[in-house]
Amino acid sequence: MRDDTPDHPPSHALSTPCTAFAGSRRLASGPLADVALAVNAQIAATPAAILIFDDGTGAQIDIDLRGTTAQIISRLASWSGPQPEARKRGRPRMGVVAREITLLPRHWDWLAQQPGGASQTLRRLVEQARKQDEGRTVRRLAHERAYRFMSALAGDYAGFEAASRALFAHDLAALDAAMAPWPGDVRDHVLQLARPGDED
């Protein structure tokens, strides 16, 4: 019997952390390649719709999971989901990445007068802002990914509006209380996504 399972191609998509739900039941979690194969094995036996969500963004992943293992892996390898930005030609020193920004003329004039020029000044300003951020950006991204998942899977659940308000207030106790009638797997996954990476 021929084994049609290929070696996993080197693709960022294959290792994207994600979670699959069959209706309100958590079916599988892990790298996208493993979750996709687990979903494929369950499609025929599971009457509920199966949805896969990116754990990093909370967005639904829309991919074709029909066919053989080799066909699925091949599709995943070319999946157009989150990919690392391609390195542009130029100086690679210290991981510097060139991107375009748009400023008003007075901003460019001010930057040109700063020691070290515009690039060094912008880097200093960004580092200062990161230090003063105190986790607000990480928390906001956690709220957004949890809300994307909630909207897709729990948008018609009782208490959705109250849960949304508690989420964006970062009141996880109130969020948990608002989700009390929800299926356990859905509630647990929302709480997992709602926690910033530095919180247990």
Instruction: Specify whether 165 is located in the same domain as 187.
Output: yes
Q: CA–CA separation, 6 vs 73, rounded Å?
A: 8
How far, CA to CA in Å, does 73 sit from each of 1, 18, 30, 41, 61?
Answer: 20, 15, 15, 14, 15
Mean pLDDT, to the nearest integer, of 131-155?
A: 89
pLDDT tens track for 79-122: 655 544 444 454 445 566 677 888 888 888 888 888 888 888 88
CB atoms within 10 A of CB 49: 8
CA dist., res. 138 & res. 16, Å (int): 19
Number of domains in the chain: 3
Looking at the fold, whether 125 and 153 belong to one and the same domain comes out as no
C-alpha–C-alpha distance, residues 112 and 96, integer Å: 20
C-alpha 52 chain-centroid distance: 12
Buried b or exposed e, range 104-141, using 16+ CB within 10 angstroms: eeeeeeebeeeeeebeebeeeeeeeeeeeeeeeeebee
In a domain, 6, yes or no: no
What would the pLDDT profile of 2-25 be if each residue is shown by its tens digit? 444 444 334 466 788 999 999 999
| Alpha-carbon span 146 to 56, nearest angstrom | 10
Nearest-CA neighbor of 39 among 65, 63, 67, 61?
65
pLDDT at 178: 97
Mean pLDDT, the chain, whole residue set: 81
Nearest to 39 by CA among 59, 17, 19: 19
Assigned domain for 173 exists: yes
Nearest-angstrom CA–CA distance, 119 and 141: 27
**85 lies in some domain:** no
Does some domain include residue 17?
yes
Contact 153, 141 (CB under 8 A): no
Q: What mean pLDDT comes out for the span 55-72?
A: 85
Q: From start to end of 72-138, where are the E strands?
A: none
Q: In the prediction, which pLDDT does 27 show?
A: 93
Q: How far is CA 45 from CA 21, 48, 171, in A?
A: 14, 9, 38
Both 62 and 19 in one domain: the answer is yes
Q: Is residue 1 part of a domain?
A: no
Indicate if 140 and 124 belong to the same structural domain. Answer: no
Cα(19)–Cα(35) distance, rounded to whole angstroms? Answer: 7
| pLDDT for the residue 41 | 84
Is 116 inside any structural domain?
yes
Domain range enclosing 162: 136-194
Residue 65 lies inside a defined structural domain of this protein? yes
Report pLDDT for 80. Answer: 56
Residue 92 in any domain: the answer is no
Whether 71 and 17 map to the same domain: the answer is yes
